[in-house]
Structure formats: structure tokens, C-alpha cells
Chain A
Amino acid sequence: MARINTKVPWFRKMAWFGKKTTWMNKKKLISTLKAYAFLAPFLVLFVGMVIYPISLGVRLSLYGQRGARMWYIGVENYQRIFSDTRFWESFKTPLFLLGVQVPLMLFLATLISLAYETRKNSGVVYRFIYYLPYTIPGIVAGIVWSYIFSDSMSPLRPLLDLLGYSGTKILTRPNVPPILLVIILWEFTGYTAFIVYSSLISIPKEFSEAAQLDGAGFWQIAFKIKIPLLRDVLITLFIFNAIGAMQVFNEPYMLGGLVVLPNNYTPAMYIYSSAFSQGRFTYAAAMGMILACITFVISLYVLRTAARNVLRSRS
């Protein structure tokens, strides 16, 4: 909110408090104070849990560190990160997820939400069942999935043996990206479909009824009318899932117990390993900042492009 600068000298401003306030000014003051009182719980938590740690992280990233010693080195950590191939290699997996998993999941979720819409009442059971995986913590899901794909305890093993694949291992390093795809799709598609569904049912019925009268089929209505109207929610979901894809950690970390994964399999894993296994906390803090910036840039880009497209299509 821009404030018009009236260039009132500071002593005049101070005098304002001493002046007799009019009834209108007092009301304004009280309503401002009320606003801040309502905001206060959120502000306190936001500053304490978000602003403060981030600024502490930025401060930490400017130091070198070994054991309990810390010394100021300015931007040297960031310089070292730019030449650290292990950090940049770690982006392979998130980019794979960003390019494959996110669009695929949004597509599947949209299809499923369209199916939900056709069965508003009897579909409650399905909406509930598909939503359940989202309620399971990522780490628990990771453990159970790693059992499913493990060598000795997989329930798929008897089936594979029957088909003649008794010697092959499912969980090998080249197979991890598709396995991650399966796990993440299982975890989040139901939840995403639910969100798209709630936007879908708020689209006024008149649009699809009018199209039906004009002779449009179900799929034509879905893709030409409903989905364009869902654009906002789909963009938002894309951004959230993109952020999740860039910061993926739980699932590959749990799989790492049953298959050897390099500690830089994803940026978040590399940051974790640098900080807690290797004890390089300040280096990890700097990497965290860079990861956050990259994620922010990607989100901004998606928002801008989508906004531009919306403007273009509406003009």
C-alpha cells in the first residue's frame, strides 16, 4: 500500500501526539489497533518461525565453520557453491519430478475430479478413499513403499517369481525415479483431485448447460469450458507442487535405506547430509538459501507466464 509522502518534518509529527485528537482520528486509531491485535498472533508466529530463522540462516551462511569454531568469510560459501558440481548435479531428480510428475499428476487429478463431479453424492466414498494417502506422513509412506519394493519382503515378489523374474531386483538406483513417481502420485493425486473438485463444483451450471444445448459432448465441455475456468486453481496447484518437487526429501531418503543413493540425490538431501553428517552447517545454510531462491524464481516464472497467458486469452 503506497503512502503519499507529505514530507512532514519529524517534530511536527511528534507534535501530533500531543495535539487534541478529533473524534475521527481517534476512531481511526482504534480501528488500526484492533486490526493489529487480530493480526498479532499470526505476526508473532510468522516473525518467530519464518522471518527470524531465515535471517539467522542468512547470517550463518556468511560464516565458515568447523566443529564449534565459526569465522566470518562473507560470500565465500556462495562462491564455493557455484563451483560445487555435487550441488548442481542434485537438481536432476527435482527437475525430473517437475517435468514429469507435476504435469502428470495435475492431469490425472483433473480427470479424477471430473469423474467426481459426475457422482456428487455416491462419489463420497471414492473421494474419501483417494484422499487417505495424503493423511499418511511422508516418512511412513516411504518406509512402507520401500518394503513393497524391497528384495525379500515385497508382496510383489510371488507375482514376479510367477512371471519368471525371480532374480531381478525392483529397487535399484536407475529404477528410483519411476518408483518415486509412483509413490508421490499415490500420495498426492487424491488430495489434488479433491482441491480441483471443490473448484469445479463452484463453476456455475449455466455454462455447461448452455454448451449442452448447443450440442457439446462431455469431453468437449470438460476441456473447452470447465478446465479453462479452473486455470487459477491449476496454476496455484502447479506452483505448490513445483515447490514440493524442488524440495523433495522424505521419499528418496527412506528409499536410501534399501538402495545405495548418493548423498546428493536431491538438493535437500545434499543440504541435510552436508549439515548433519558432515557437520558443515554454514555451507548447508548457504545452499538452502540458493535452493529457496531457485524455487522462488521458478514460481515467479510460472505465475508471470500464466498471468500473461490469461491476459492474452481474455483480451
Chain B
Amino acid sequence: MKRMVVALVVVLLFSSSALAADYYPPYTGEPVTLTMWAWTSNENYSIEEFQKAYPNITVVWEDFAVHYNKAQTALAAGSGLPDVLMVEYSFAPQFMDLGAFQPINKWLDVETFVELYGEIALGWCSMDGQIYGTPQDSGANGFFYRKDIFDKYGLTVPTTWEEYAEQARKLKAAAPDLEFAAPPLGYALVWVGMIWGAGGKMFDYHDGNWYIDFTNPIAEEFFEFWGELFDEGVLDIQMWWNADWYSSLNLGKTASVIVGCWFAEWLRYNALDSEGQWRVAVPPFISADQPHNGMIGGSGFYVTTHCKNPEAAAIFVNWLNSHPDSLRCLHKYSNLPIMVSTRYAEILEEIAGPDEFFGGQNIVEELWKAHQLVDTTFVGLPIWSNMDTALSLLIQDYVDGKIERFADILPLWEQQVINTMKEFGYDNVIVGRLP
């Protein structure tokens, strides 16, 4: 009996390590140094842990801020890209299309990818069946709100968009100086992400063709919804990512923000005066029986065409974004609450706990719920920065009064996007429907 138990344990041990070995094959090549560009508040990108597992691969990490301009220049110059590049999911198709990445299917095939990261993530890290990288953090929308303002004015966390409008009106009536929320003037990721949260989309890529349809019913309904609130003066549009916006969050002039769950890290570093006042919740749904969620941001790590040793790079990006040792590190040092990898569930119990900045709330648990509700996906257009600029200008025109209805922005935006796609030489664009 005892021998059988021992045999069973040995077999189990072997099989589990064999399974693990399936995901992380040993590296049999020459010792190599990989370079990586990534941004974060982290001092350590799990690199030490990785080098314990793979002593022959050294990783050198350079922390630039968002480095897309530099990456594009290096790409055009023909050299200068690092081996591994961090790119947000929405911008990745642009780089994939420009030929900035090389496929790593040889070392990370589709089946393994789906097992480790889920099928949805294929839309962010692959195109036409070629896998270029692995996803790291989830940008699942979260509803970040100031508990002190909510308590003071008797507001409740909205669970549907109707309730959201109600609460916004309530706050405006009680405190005209404060904003319930300040949607961004531009920053297309948020607008696309909120429509994603309603289960919709405005563009996609399928079978070699790009599909564009900005004026579909879900998008129109959404922009009408916001337009009503803006016209009533209940919500104000504000430019994000500048000192004015941070100070409005810090000083409590804005009561809530809907943005990707990685925002927890940003709040921690930029809104220090408001420590302890913020909470998170799952964002409101279109209606209680249609629970969806979308993503705003979140980044993947891709292997570039300038990489001379794609095998080592593929091993690194896979290990970095799925091995529990690495995920633990990323969570602890990058303060990223949720990672995309399915293996994150393995350490969830261990790392989820009360968070001081959020007044003791277990934000990992809450945001994991939000992440699980992301059940649709689509591929971003390869001209994201142009799309972004176009939206900024249109929303500015709306604020200036040159565009009457907020929903009128959609057809104008669509037209500009189509023109830009043509200008950049895309003749495989299908307008008016989505796959």
C-alpha cells in the first residue's frame, strides 16, 4: 500500500513537472543577453526570478515612458529596436502591421497560448495565426470611486448605466462644483473600451480584411447616452494625463473614473493625498441581464524583428507573463492588480488581500470579477494614434459648440479614420459591417 502511495506521488510529481516543462522548455542555446523596453513603476520586472530559472539568458531592461515614437523611428531606421517591446494591446496591431514583430509560434504554439492566456488574448497578440507575444496585465474596466464623496452625498455604486446617470445627476444637484466623472477629451481607448463593455465594437480584423463600422447601434446608443449627460451639464469632459486631471482626482473634485484596472497603480503614485478614500467596483452594465466588460489599455510583450535570438525572447515573454513566480513578482512590484494569464488564478488566493491605499478593500478580488466578465474581443486598427488625434479634435469641436450632438461625432470620426486608412495604403477595408 505504502509503495503504491509513494509510486502514485512520484508519478504525480513527474507529471506535474512534465506539464510545467511543457509550458517552459529548457533553453539549449548559447548564453545571450536580451534587451527590453517597458514602462512601469517597477524596479524589477521579475528578471531576477527569470534568471534563476534560465541562467543562460540575461535580460537588460530599459524604462522609458511610453516609447512608441522611439520604437517607430528605430523600426524605420532598420535597427535599434530592443529584443522585447512592451506595447498596449490596442497599439499592437499597428506594430504588427508595420512588421515590427516576428512570429514565435515555433516556441509557443496556439494551443499552449490558449491554455496559458485564454482564447480572447489571441486577438491582442496574434494576427493571421502568427503569435507575436504574450499579454501581461489586464485592462479590464474598473469603476474607481471616492468613498468619502459617495458617503457624503448619499450616492450608491451604480450597477447599470441608467443608475449611473441617476447618481451623476444627484451629485450635480447636491454639489455643482464636483464632477461625478470627467470622461477624457480624446484618449480613444476609453471610448472604445466603454463600448466594448457594452458588448460592442467599432472595428475588427478578419481573414485579411479590416472592418470598420462606427455607426452601429451599440456605439450610437452609447454616444447618445453620454451626449445627454454632457448637454445637461451633468458631466464635464476633461483632458486626461496632465497635472490638472491628477490634481482633480487627488483633491476630490472628481468622484469616479472608469478605466482599466492597472489604474490602481497610477492612483497610488499620483493621488497620494487621497489615500484610503478610493474603492473599486465592477463597472455598470447596459442592463442587469447583460453582464459584459471591456478593456481599456493593458499591455503585451512582443518579440521584435530586430531580435537575433527569438527562441530566448519567446521563452522570456512566455515565462514573464504566465509563470506564477513571475506573476507574483509583477503584482508585488508593479502593483498591477490583475494579469491576463489563466495561471494567475493559481496564486489569486495567496496575493488577494486588503489594500491599504483602497481603505482595506480587497481590490484584487473585485477586479478579478471585472476581468472575468471580459468575454468579447476584437483587433485594434493599425492607425490607432491617428484615430486618437482625430477623436481629440472632434470632441474639442463638440466642447466648443461646433458639433451639436455628441453622437454626431461618430460618423465624422469614421470618415476620418477611413480616409487615413486609405492614405496609408490599406485597400482591404470593408465599411459598414463587422465580422
Contact = CB atoms under 8 A, between A and B. Distances in A.
Contacts of A275: 73
B185 interface: yes
B425 interface: yes
B69 interface: yes
Interface in A246-286: 257-260, 262-263, 273, 275-279, 281
A173 interface: yes
Interface stretch (B27-35, B132-140, B241-249, B318-326): B241-249
A259 B239 contact: yes
Interface residues of A, number: 24
Interface string B372-394: 00000000000001100100110
Interface string B65-100: 000110011011010000000000000000001111
Contact of B98 (A153, A260, A262, A279): A279
Interface centre among A67, A259, A279 (most CB of B within 10 A): A279
Interface centre among B72, B75, B99, B425 (most CB of A within 10 A): B72
B69 A276 contact: yes
Q: Is chain B's binding surface mostly helix, strand, loop or mixed?
A: helix
Q: Is chain A's binding surface mostly helix, strand, loop or mixed?
A: loop
Nearest to B185: A260
A315 interface: no
Given A260-B393, A276-B69, A67 B243 contact: no
A276 B73 contact: yes
A262 to B, nearest CB: 6
Nearest to B253: A152
B389 A67 contact: no
B269 interface: no
Contacts of B386: 277-278
A68 B78 contact: yes
B362 interface: no
Given A66-B425, A257-B242, A263 B76 contact: no
Interface of A: 65-69, 147, 150-153, 173, 257-260, 262-263, 273, 275-279, 281
21 contacts: A65-B76, A67-B75, A69-B99, A147-B243, A152-B243, A152-B244, A153-B244, A153-B247, A173-B396, A173-B400, A257-B242, A258-B242, A260-B393, A260-B395, A262-B389, A262-B393, A273-B389, A277-B68, A277-B72, A277-B385, A279-B76
Given A277-B385, A279-B75, 13 more contacts: A67-B100, A68-B75, A69-B99, A150-B243, A152-B247, A152-B251, A257-B242, A258-B244, A275-B73, A277-B68, A277-B69, A278-B386, A279-B76
Interface of B: 68-69, 72-73, 75-76, 78, 97-100, 185-186, 239, 242-244, 247-248, 251, 305, 385-386, 389, 392-393, 395-396, 400, 424-425
Q: Which 6 A-B pairs have the closest CB atoms?
A: A67-B98, A276-B69, A260-B396, A279-B72, A152-B247, A151-B244
